[in-house]
Structure 1
Amino acid sequence: MSNKQGPAGVELSPPPTGLEAEYETLFTPEALLFVQELISLFDEEVDEVLRLRASRKAHLDLSGELPKFLKSTAHIRLDPNWRVGPVPLRLRRRHVDVGDLAPCDTERFIQALQSPAQGLQVDFDDGNCPTFHNQIKGIHNVYKAAHNHIPNVPHISRAPVLMMRPRAWNMVEHNMMVEGKQAPGPLFDFGLLVFHCGRTLFANNSGPFFYLSKVENRLEAKLWNKIFVWTQQKLGLPLGSIKATVLIENVLAAFEMEEILFELREHSAGLNCGIWDYSASFVNKFGHRQAFLLPDRSKYVNMEKRFLRSYMDLLVQTCHRRGALATGGMAASLLPRDPLSDSHQRVLTTVTRLKLLEIQAGVDGFMVYDMNLIEPMQKLFQRFTEGDNQLHQLRTDVTVSHEDLLAMPLGGVTLFGLKYNIAVGVLFIDAWLTGKGHFFYRGQVEDSATAEISRSQVWQWIRHGAQLEDDQRPVSRELVVLLTSGVLRELSASCHSVRAKQRLHTAADVFLEVVLKRDFPAFITTYLNEEHTFLNAHQRTQLEIVDKSKL
């Protein structure tokens, strides 16, 4: 089938097999025109965002400087009077959201809509592999939910509120060309979601609400604000209808939290903190510096450490003094099904302890992956808080300096932690090659955030020759290759076909390629997205060789 021709300057790949009806529903002439105008207007500014990121990174590398709170925006931070727009009614009590909810997984999406969660992170980013099939299926499922076309789920005005998370700036949509360029992934996702669902969600007091991933500074927030203003005018929505929660997933953004809220103040639903993407950003920005050697995450990195605790405290203080909601990270643990088992109680105790830390810090809500954790965590909120949220907790006791935000935790590297990081990195790439954005390993859900910190740590430990606590061996190329072979043998034991085993070997090859690179790839998802076609072709070639050898 040939490419679909939309308005002048738009080319679209044909529909994936089996999704022809969904494709026709989404890519109407009106929708294509809207997305084309959106991309044409803001495409250059998206490119500028990425160039400014590279420029900032180069400046930090060349100068040796470290980020600080900006003098040029001190007037924003010092002005006590401004606030973000009022929190919409449906966002005021969102203690527990379901996270990593890739909406292309129809069964899990429906289960989440039927769950007692107060919100759903409808994730086209970290927990999702953005194949054309997954994007179309996922956006169409959101469309059906918004328009009450899914049987046996509550009306959209009563269902858990949809917090839609488009891809981050670094991702592109290979299947749409606008004026000779591949479409920015976030504008493709946002455009289709808001065009098809925005007015309906607004009419039902249920949005449109978004999560914004991997924002690094106030200028990126300012661009999203411009996009929101234009969109509302175009769709006939009142100013401030769109609300967005910004995920503070980058160390540079931690120094501009108030400025980010200020730029989005009519459209802000608050800020979110999450441990692994944020920790990985230290390696991204400063990983070549010995002073920023991040120790073993499995042993030494958690929200009780100074650099992460300071970040969470500052985020809560910043949000609440400006009338915005502060949300915590996601509990990735999977709860064993037998409620009488020791393992069930052990996991529940661990999750409870970690989430209580966030509640006591003043967060207004957080996420869980396992839906069996929703009600226990809601009860935890009710036991330790009063009312819909904790906006009254202004955290005037908090004073956070730039030294606090940059204080690396003490600790070394363990053989267990190194092997764990290798396994997570390999399995994430393997999942990606099957079109999945997350997987399960040792009682946890793992996604691109944990893959980022895993491959970041291995790259950095090789770069600095970090020594293993176990036997003082340095982490080297030779050791990582050796351990990857061992991990591969363990993981291959559970492969049930030649195809699965070959794919796993391909994933291991790509993982080694990433962690041994001279220059650190900024995002593993970008790396895989740009090489996805090659990897699939390579995989097919290898399978053909294997199949022929069996004849």
Structure 2
Amino acid sequence: MVAGVQTLSSAAADAQREILTEDALKFLAALHRTFEGTRKSLLQAREDRQRKWDAGASLDFPPETASVRSEPSWHCAPPAPGLEDRRTEITGPTDRKMVVNALNSGAKTFMADFEDSNSPTFSNMVNGQLNLRDAVRRTIDFEVKGKAYKLSETPAVLIVRPRGWHLDEPRVLIDGAPVSGSIFDFALYFFHNAKELVQRGSGPYFYLPKMEHYLEARLWNDIFNFSQSYVGLPHGTVRGTVLIETIPAAFQMEEILFELRQHSSGLNCGRWDYIFSFIKKRRADASAVLPNRSDVSMTVPFMDAYVRLLIQTCHRRKVAAMGGMAAQIPIKEDPKANEVAMNKVKADKLREVLAGHDGTWIAHPLINKIARDVFDEHMLGPNQYHILREDVKVSADQLLDPKVPGKITEEGVRSNVATCLAYTASWIGGNGCIPLNYLMEDAATAEITRIQLWQWVHYASRLDTGEIITPAYVEKLIDEIAPTVSKIAPAVQEKELQTTVDYLKAQIKATWPSEFLTSDLMPYLAAADGVEAKFLKSAL
């Protein structure tokens, strides 16, 4: 249809006809041809920096941008329409039912996710775009088994999270190469909806994940400018909230805001990915071994330092400092357990609002009132930009402080194995967001489990009993736990589970852990979507 553009999968054919139109593909191709070289060079720079850290170099605030950090006069753009008050933001994948329920949840915004809570099958990606297009135009209403799903008169403001820079979209080739997953997700949503959103008093708003360097933020800013010019919108119409969910980005918060200042709507504490990154980027540092995942709370030193610096940075530049996810979900069949879980949500949200956050994330509509009540009581205006946190002085050592009270227990190892197996098998099967033990798990939490298992094995860490965590020990637990996964994740199929078992066993014995399990396993999704093996050789 468009010269140089190939679609390799027939999945979701009806949605493809409506979303992968000739004009949309021309826009996608223009973005790819303009920016793919820069993306590739930035990904190579990530590898180069990692080799330096592995050799003993320390993470620090970049000296070449000291003037950006010290200059007090620059500020980001004022809040865009609908983003002045973001006290509760609900997140979730882009299936049709989820989109309607999230938009109707009572939360101020809905982060529609093509990334960590989504398994990127081609059907999920293209149907998700169709669902968002219909939501923007208020034509998403539908009925299933006699139950009607209809948008309310005042739905939440829509924000879209594309995939990170590291992921390709292997079902679409441009000039023989896979297009960036980030660009694919952004381009199709922007092309079909940007002007419509502006006409309706909103705008094309995005959450930008997994960045590690301010030059990666500059690339997004360049894409925003290019795209606005392409469709004829004023520069500054697009807004992006950056998730600070990698430890390198924590040292460059000011610079990231500066690069996006015309298009910035703030930063978010992506807490789970941040813990994952803390371990992964310091993989060669034996002092950075962490205890059980449950012990790595938001109040441990390195997490507390990161939060305080993020709030101070955002308010200094007059943008939103968004809090993190409350992963708890309601426990309907056990009122006492539910009360304990909901009290954890309240405590977490109270900590956030008192620290100065301007809003928070939730994973379930029934959590909205709990989080909303806490913020309503303690945040009387639309935000807390006036709380400058001038008392905060965060050093590199504080951001890198590995001291976390806690132990590594057999239950902690078992929990990591079970979560990794259940989630990863579900992801391969097409579901990227699953409830496990009354917590909503996504790729970020699964990544913590994978990287911790690797770290404990790599450094021969000891359980609280004194037993050394060896590959044989973890493999034995994997074999023991795998047959029980169907009890906590009934939809998991045997084929996907076996793939996950093999993958996890290989990961714990690797010299270095893989960067992302989603990158490793994407070829399985592409093959299931009908992509021929000759297009997947480099990935499989």
Q: Which of 34, 45, 56 is 2:27 aligned to?
A: 34
Question: By how many angstroms is 1:415 displaced?
Answer: 0.8
Provide the rounded CA distance (Å) in 2 between the counterparts of 1:33 and 1:171.
21
Q: Which of 109, 124, 139 is 2:129 aligned to?
A: 139
Provide the rounded CA distance (Å) in 1 between the counterparts of 2:524 and 2:22.
31
Q: Deviations over 1:492-547 (max 9, x none)?
A: 456879x823432332222222222222101111111135456899xxxxxxxxxx
Q: 1:496 to 1:149 in 2, by over 3 A?
A: closer
Provide the rounded CA distance (Å) in 2 between the counterparts of 1:316 and 1:381.
16
Q: Which of 508, 524, 527 is 2:520 aligned to?
A: 527
8 A contact 1:197–1:208 mirrored in 2: yes
Q: Provide the identity percentage.
A: 35
Provide the rounded CA distance (Å) in 1 between the counterparts of 2:485 and 2:42.
39
Q: Which residue of 2 aligns with 1:440?
A: 435
Q: 1:46 to 1:422 in 2, by over 3 A?
A: same
Matches within 5 A, 1:377-456: 377-410=371-404, 411-456=406-451
Q: Deviations over 1:42-85 (max 9, x none)?
A: 110110110010111112222x1111112211111111100001
Q: Which of 169, 194, 207 is 1:211 aligned to?
A: 207
8 A contact 1:295–1:409 mirrored in 2: no
Question: By how many angstroms is 1:292 displaced?
Answer: 1.1
8 A contact 2:283–2:512 mirrored in 1: no
Partner-residue secondary structure (3-state), 1:164:
strand
Provide the rounded CA distance (Å) in 2 between the counterparts of 1:30 and 1:222.
26
Provide the rounded CA distance (Å) in 1 between the counterparts of 2:171 and 2:123.
10
Q: 1:371 to 1:494 in 2, by over 3 A?
A: closer
Matches within 5 A, 1:275-290: 275-290=271-286
Partner-residue secondary structure (3-state), 1:210:
strand
Q: Which residue of 1 aligns with 2:346?
A: 352
Q: Which residue of 2 aligns with 1:547?
A: none
Instruction: Work out the number of aligned pairs and report it.
Output: 521
Q: Which of 267, 270, 274 is 2:270 aligned to?
A: 274
Provide the rounded CA distance (Å) in 2 between the counterparts of 1:59 and 1:431.
35
Q: Which residue of 1 aligns with 2:46?
A: 53
- 1:525 partner amino acid: T
Provide the rounded CA distance (Å) in 2 between the counterparts of 1:79 and 1:525.
39
1:67 lines up with 2:59 in the alignment = yes
1:301 lines up with 2:291 in the alignment = no
Provide the rounded CA distance (Å) in 2 between the counterparts of 1:436 and 1:209.
25
Matches within 5 A, 1:187-206: 187-206=183-202
Q: Which of 223, 230, 238 is 1:227 aligned to?
A: 223
Provide the rounded CA distance (Å) in 2 between the counterparts of 1:77 and 1:533.
43
Poorly superposed stretches of 4+, deviation over 6 Å:
494-497, 534-537
Partner-residue secondary structure (3-state), 1:91:
coil
- 1:85 partner amino acid: A
8 A contact 1:301–1:409 mirrored in 2: no
Q: 1:467 to 1:329 in 2, by over 3 A?
A: same
Provide the rounded CA distance (Å) in 1 between the counterparts of 2:15 and 2:527.
27
Q: Which of 446, 454, 459 is 2:454 aligned to?
A: 459
Provide the rounded CA distance (Å) in 1 between the counterparts of 2:176 and 2:490.
43
Provide the rounded CA distance (Å) in 2 between the counterparts of 1:415 and 1:129.
30
- 1:359 partner amino acid: V
Q: 1:36 to 1:271 in 2, by over 3 A?
A: same
Q: Is 21-30 or 250-259 further displaced after alignment?
A: 21-30
Provide the rounded CA distance (Å) in 2 between the counterparts of 1:226 and 1:504.
41
Partner-residue secondary structure (3-state), 1:453:
helix
Provide the rounded CA distance (Å) in 1 between the counterparts of 2:275 and 2:488.
31
- 2:319 partner amino acid: A
Q: Which residue of 1 aligns with 2:36?
A: 43
Partner-residue secondary structure (3-state), 2:243:
strand
Q: Which residue of 2 aligns with 1:238?
A: 234
Provide the rounded CA distance (Å) in 2 between the counterparts of 1:345 and 1:38.
49
Partner-residue secondary structure (3-state), 2:63:
coil
The TM-score with structure 2 as length reference comes to 0.94
8 A contact 1:215–1:253 mirrored in 2: yes
Q: Which residue of 1 aligns with 2:93?
A: 102
Question: By how many angstroms is 1:490 displaced?
Answer: 2.5
Question: By how many angstroms is 1:424 displaced?
Answer: 1.0
1:114 lines up with 2:104 in the alignment = yes
Q: 1:493 to 1:83 in 2, by over 3 A?
A: closer
Q: 1:494 to 1:289 in 2, by over 3 A?
A: closer
Q: Is 428-437 or 316-325 further displaced after alignment?
A: 428-437
The TM-score with structure 1 as length reference comes to 0.92
8 A contact 1:288–1:463 mirrored in 2: no
Provide the rounded CA distance (Å) in 2 between the counterparts of 1:290 and 1:78.
34
Q: Is 82-91 or 282-291 further displaced after alignment?
A: 282-291
Q: Is 499-508 or 412-421 further displaced after alignment?
A: 499-508
8 A contact 1:211–1:245 mirrored in 2: yes
Question: By how many angstroms is 1:109 displaced?
Answer: 1.4
Provide the rounded CA distance (Å) in 2 between the counterparts of 1:372 and 1:128.
21
Q: 1:320 to 1:287 in 2, by over 3 A?
A: same
1:81 lines up with 2:77 in the alignment = no
- 1:405 partner amino acid: L
Provide the rounded CA distance (Å) in 1 between the counterparts of 2:489 and 2:402.
39
8 A contact 2:119–2:427 mirrored in 1: yes
Partner-residue secondary structure (3-state), 1:89:
coil
1:326 lines up with 2:318 in the alignment = no
Gapped regions of structure 2 (runs ≥ 5): 142-149, 531-540
Partner-residue secondary structure (3-state), 1:90:
coil
Q: Deviations over 1:120-176 (max 9, x none)?
A: 111000000111100011011001011121232136xx3211110000011111111
Provide the rounded CA distance (Å) in 2 between the counterparts of 1:260 and 1:153.
35
8 A contact 1:492–1:504 mirrored in 2: no
- 1:74 partner amino acid: A
Question: By how many angstroms is 1:428 displaced?
Answer: 1.5
